[in-house]
A and B are shown apart, each in its own frame.
Chain A
C-alpha cells in the first residue's frame, strides 16, 4: 500500500514521466507500424523491377508514375475508382439524411437510442458475410431479379452498379451517425427563431438546418469516400469484371512490387486532397 502510494506520489510530481508512460506504446505503434510502412510504400514506389527475374531493382526512377498517367488502363481505373467513391458518398448522403432526420428529430426521444443501435447493427456482422449476401441478392434469378420481374425489369447483375450499391450499403452507417448527432444537437430554439421570423418549414430547412448539418455530412463523406476508394474485395465478389485501384495493386504485388506501391500511393494522395477540401467546410472539427 505504501509502495503504491509512493509510486503514485512520484508519478504525481513528475508530469513528464506520466506523459511518457502514457504515450510511449501508442507512439511506437504509430511511428513504426503506420508511418514506417507508409514511407516504405513511398520509397519503393520509386524503384523498378527487372522484367526477366521480377526482382526489385533499388534504383531511383519515376517510371512507375509516368506509366500511371500515360497507360490508358491505369488512368481509366484510377478515374473509375474515384468515380465509384464519389457515387457511393453521394448515395450515402442522400439516403442517410432523411434517415438521420427521422432518428434524431421525428422519432420519440425514448426510441432514438434503439434506432441508432439498429442502424449500427450491420457493422457487427462480418464484412464478407454481408458482401456475399449481396452477391446472392444480385445473382441471376436472385432476390433482385425476382422482385423486379413483375415490373418487367431485371436486377443490375454483377458489375459497376452492383459494386456501388453494395459499397453504399456497407458504409451507410458511417454517414448516418455523424448526421444524426448533428441533427440531434441542433438547438430547437434556432428552429423556433426561424419560424418566429416568418420562415416556413422548407425555408428553415434550407437556411438553418442544412447549412448547420453540412459539416457533419462532409465528415461522414470522409469515411464513405476513403473506405470506398480503398476497397477491392467487394468489387471482386459483386463487380464482375470491373477493376478498381485495389485490384490492380493486388495483382501487381507478386510480379511488380514497385508498381503496386505506386498504385497504392494514388488513393493516399487522393484522400489527402479530399481531406484538404473537406477541411474548408469545417468537417474535421465535427468528426
Chain B
C-alpha cells in the first residue's frame, strides 16, 4: 500500500500582512514517519494546522488520500492531532478523554470503553482511566493525548511538537516509544519539531522549513550529508560552512561548502616553528592513526585553535583558518582526557578531511 496519504499543492497562508506559508508542495506517503523541521516562525505548524483544518489556506490545496479536503472542517477529516500542550479536557477522566472521539461518532458505550482501555494499554497507561488529567505527570498526559488521537485509528496522525514540554530523559524515551508505536499501528505520522536531533532520530523523511518555504525534503541521511541549501547545512547539525575566498583557497573553486565537524581530523601542525620552551602535546594527539600526509583524496587547511570545548564523549575544536573563516571539528575522546585537549587551545593545527565530505551547497539566492 504505497499510496499517497497527504498531498499539498502550492499551499499558502497569510495572516494580515505577514506570510506564514509561502507556497508549499509536498507529498507524504502512507505509513510514513514524516517530520517537518524548522525554527519557530518557519511555517511548519501552520502547515500542520492547515492539514488538520484549523486554518484555511489563503491559496493552494490539501488532499488527503487523493480527496481534496481544502474546504472541509476539522471534524470532516480523517486526521487526528496531538497538540503541543496536549489539550486534554480537564473536566473529563482520562478514559472519557480517550473515548471522546468515539462517543462523538456514536460508538456504543461498552465498545468505546473497551477500545479506550486498549488504547491506554498501547501507551502503557493501564489503570489510569479514572484519573483526571491534572493528576498526571507531563509524560503521562502526553501518552493520554496520544491514545486519544490514536483510538479512532485515523488515516493520518498529526503531532505538533509533542515532546517539547518534556525533560531531556523523558523526551529521549518518548522518541523511541513513539517510533515503535508508529511502526506497530502503521499510521502515517506527521511530526512537527524544531529539534533537528529529534527529526533525525525518528523520521523516515524530513522536510526542512525556513521562512514559509520547504528548503529540502529527504531522508535523515540525505538532509544531513547532502544539505541542499546553506540554511539546511546550518540548521541541521553544526553549522560548518566554507565560503568566499577561503573556500576558493582550500577547495580550489569558489562557492559555499559544508563539511560536517565529525568528518574533520585535527592534526598537530609539526611544520610550525614552535616555542622551544613550550611542551608540545603532540604525543597525545586526539587522532590515533596518522593519515596519509598529502593524499589527493584529502582536503586540508591550516589554522589556529581558537577554542576547545570538552563535551565528555567528544571534544569540539573551533579553528580559525589561515585562509580565512572558521571551521568546527569534532573528535571522539577515545584516549584523550580533558587536560590533553585543553592543551590544544591556541596551538597551530592542520585540519584534514576526505574530499567526498566537502559538500557543495548551492545558494538559492
Q: Which residues in window 34-90 of A have CB below 8 A to B? A: none
CA of A195 to CA of B80, assembled, Å: 10
A212 within 8 A of partner (CB): yes
B105 touches A198 (CB 8 A): yes
CA of A211 to CA of B100, assembled, Å: 14
Query: Which among A190, A192, A199, A212 is the interface contact of B104 at CB below 8 angstroms?
Result: A199
Of the listed residues A189, A193, A200, A211, the one surrounded by the most CB atoms of chain B closer than 10 A to its CB is A193
Min CB gap B158→A, angstroms? 9
B80 touches A196 (CB 8 A): yes
With a cutoff of 8 Å between Cβ atoms, the chain A residues found around residue B81 in the complex are 192-193, 196
CA of A207 to CA of B102, assembled, Å: 13
B310 within 8 A of partner (CB): no
Q: Which of B84-92, B195-203, B248-256, B347-355 contacts A (4 or more CB under 8 A)?
A: B84-92
B224 within 8 A of partner (CB): no
A192 touches B54 (CB 8 A): yes
Min CB gap A36→B, angstroms? 41
B186 within 8 A of partner (CB): no
Query: Which among A187, A189, A200, A207 is the interface contact of B100 at CB below 8 angstroms?
Result: A207
CA of A203 to CA of B74, assembled, Å: 14
B87 touches A192 (CB 8 A): yes
- What DSSP secondary structure best describes chain A's contact surface? helix
Query: Which among A193, A195, A197 is the interface contact of B73 at CB below 8 angstroms?
Result: A195
B101 touches A198 (CB 8 A): yes
With a cutoff of 8 Å between Cβ atoms, the chain A residues found around residue B101 in the complex are 197-198
Of the listed residues B53, B88, B101, the one surrounded by the most CB atoms of chain A closer than 10 A to its CB is B101
CA of A193 to CA of B152, assembled, Å: 14
CA of A208 to CA of B87, assembled, Å: 11
With a cutoff of 8 Å between Cβ atoms, the chain A residues found around residue B105 in the complex are 198
Q: Tell me whether A197 and B83 are in contact in the complex, defined as CB-CB below 8 angstroms, given that A190-B89, A211-B91, A212-B91 are known contacts.
A: no
Q: Tell me whether A198 and B104 are in contact in the complex, defined as CB-CB below 8 angstroms, given that A190-B89, A212-B90, A212-B91 are known contacts.
A: yes
Interface string of B64-87 (1 = CB under 8 A from A): 000000000111000111010101
A194 within 8 A of partner (CB): yes
B87 touches A197 (CB 8 A): no
A198 touches B83 (CB 8 A): no
A198 touches B89 (CB 8 A): no
A187 touches B87 (CB 8 A): yes
B152 touches A189 (CB 8 A): no
B104 touches A203 (CB 8 A): yes
B148 within 8 A of partner (CB): yes
Min CB gap A207→B, angstroms? 7
Query: Which among A195, A196, A200, A208 is the interface contact of B89 at CB below 8 angstroms?
Result: A208
Which 10 residue pairs of A and B lie closest in terms of their CB atoms, listed nearest first?
A197-B101, A193-B87, A195-B74, A189-B87, A199-B104, A198-B104, A211-B91, A198-B75, A196-B81, A196-B74
A195-B75, A198-B75 given; name 8 further pairs at CB < 8 Å: A189-B87, A190-B89, A194-B104, A195-B54, A196-B53, A197-B149, A207-B89, A212-B91
